[in-house]
Amino acid sequence: MDDQTLSILISGCMANKRKAQEELYLIFYPGMYRLCMRYLRSDDLVPEALNTGFLKVFTKITSYHEAKGNLKGWISAIMIRSCIDLQRSELRFQHYEDITEANNTPHLSPDALDRLYAADLLAYVRALPPASQMVFNLYEVDGFDHGEIATILGISASTSRWHLTSAKQQLRQLINQKN
């Protein structure tokens, strides 16, 4: 989709035109669905987060400025926050003391990753405790640092580091058990 067409769609959404909203939804739905699948433990929660996220997109579209970044990034940020809010309403985050990387982390055999498919990886990530899953996705997949994660989730940076370490350890164990 070219920039001019996208600008027309954005203008239509800002004018609250249903056809423009529908077109924008159809364009971004597949990618945002996959994003929500990564963040939420249950397939049942994905449509709720997705619909809430798109509702926020359409109600806040007037605050979007093309000069500040691309539309996909802006929508992704809204979807991530919708997933986090939904997950928070389902479960509470626990605070843990700061820990260092454990020296006795399980070894992951080099050929184990070769035998995994994307669906398997998603299932392993979704098997993590909710807070660890969130931190893992924010840090490893979306590239946030621990300070940003702490702000987004309302936890300390050390708690974020703990959840990431825990997630990696648990993923190694899950992958080694299944392979």
Q: What is the pLDDT of residues 19-48, one digit of tens each?
A: 999 999 999 999 999 999 988 888 888 999
User: Residue 124 corresponds to which tokens in the numbers above?
Assistant: 């392993």
Identity at 176, one-letter amino acid code: N
pLDDT digits (tens, 9 = 90+) for 122-143: 888 888 998 899 999 999 988 8
Q: How many structural domains does the chain have?
A: 2
Which CATH number belongs to the domain containing residue 38 in this structure?
1.10.1740.10
Q: Are residues 77 and 40 in the same domain?
A: yes
pLDDT digit string, tens, across residues 133-175: 999 999 998 889 999 999 988 899 999 999 999 999 998 888 8
Does some domain include residue 101? Answer: no
The pLDDT of residue 102:
43
- Residue 124 falls within a domain, yes or no? yes
Range of the domain at 143: 113-178
90-123 residue pLDDT tens: 765 444 444 444 444 445 455 555 555 667 788 8
Residue at 16: amino acid letter: N
Cβ(59)–Cβ(85) below 8 Å: no
- pTM > 0.95: yes or no: no
